[in-house]
Amino acid sequence: MALIKDLASGAMRPGHPIDEKELGARFSTSRTPIREAILQLAAQGFVVMSPRSGASVPKLSIHMLREMLELLGELEAIAAGYAARRMKPEERQQLERSVDACRQAAASDDAAAYERANDDFHQLIYDGCRNGALVEQIVTLRTRCAAYTIRRFESPGRMQRSVKEHEDVCRAIADADSGAAREAMLAHISIGGKDFAEFVSGLPPELLGI
């Protein structure tokens, strides 16, 4: 769905109103299917409905954002553990090449290229974990948090730290060590304590809800 892609890319920011008329023109369709799609998105937590202002992209509170990122870390760790047991040799080689792409982007200080290489790295793990239900939950959480994490690789030193974390995950998967893969991925994804405080302090206040 195009609206999901907009949310996942961070193009639709928290608080952004969902204009049914504009969407109808964009997709050349009537308001009825647009309303049905919005209701489906609301049921999944991607949008919120208000009697007065209609549908909009929800603003997450600091508490809710922390809960989502905690859960995301745990689910990503499970996926890495499964991938360590289930990936085929050629998939492990692809993962190593994706880490090389991350290194090159970090060395060039190219945040946009790193974002793409990072997405490829995680997608290979999702494919290799062989658990569609798990991946669906991960993608949902990533989409709901996307507007808050879109600039994460622009902070000084973050790409270089991420590369090191990717190397740890990749090594554990190459060794088929599911426990080490889970721990490495959890360390890579988790945001806690001081790191979370610094992360939140860099967010525009207008993105956060009560």
Three-state DSSP state, 56: strand
Q: Does residue 91 lie within any of the structural domains?
A: yes
**Any idea which residue has 């499964």 for tokens?**
82
Count how many domains the chain has.
Answer: 2
User: Quick check: is 210 in a domain?
Assistant: no
Q: H or E element: which one contains 49?
A: strand 48-50
pLDDT at 82: 98
Q: Looking at residues 47-58, what average pLDDT do you find?
A: 85
The CATH number of residue 79's host domain is 1.20.120.530
CATH number at residue 17: 1.10.10.10
Question: What is the average pLDDT value for the chain, to the nearest integer?
Answer: 89
**Which domain does 30 fall in, by range?**
2-56
**How many CB atoms neighbour CB 26 within 10 A?**
12
**Bigger pLDDT: 205 vs 91:** 91
pLDDT(183) > 90: yes
> In terms of domains, do 92 and 106 share one?
yes
Residue 90 confidence class, pLDDT cut points 50, 70, 90: very high
Q: What angle do CA 175, 137, 120 make, to 5 degrees?
A: 50
- The answer to the question of residue 115 being in a domain is yes
* Average pLDDT of the segment spanning 142-170: 88
- In a shared domain, residues 51 and 145: no
| CA distance linking residue 104 with residue 210, whole number of Å | 40
Does residue 134 carry a pLDDT above 70?
Answer: yes
**Domain check: are 182 and 84 in the same one?**
yes
Q: List 17's β-bridge partners, or say none.
A: 56
Alpha-carbon torsion (137, 139, 144, 148), positive or negative: positive
Q: Helix-strand-coil percent breakdown of the chain, rounded to 5?
A: 75, 5, 20
Domain boundary among 13, 30, 56: 56
Residue range 152-171: mean pLDDT, rounded: 91
Q: Would residue 76 count as lying in a domain?
A: yes
pLDDT value of residue 124: 98
**What pLDDT score was predicted for residue 1?**
60
Q: Is 11 in the same domain as 76?
A: no
Domain shared by 50 and 99, yes or no: no
Domain membership flag for residue 42: yes
Q: Is residue 173 part of a domain?
A: yes
Q: What share of the chain in percent tops pLDDT 90?
A: 51
Tell whether 184 and 169 lie within a shared domain. yes
Q: Please report whether residue 209 resides in a domain.
A: no
- Check: CB of residue 92 under 8 Å from CB of residue 139: no
Instruction: Inform me whether the pLDDT recorded for 109 exceeds 90.
Output: yes
Query: 200 and 165, same structural domain?
Result: yes
pLDDT value, residue 192: 57
pTM here is 0.85
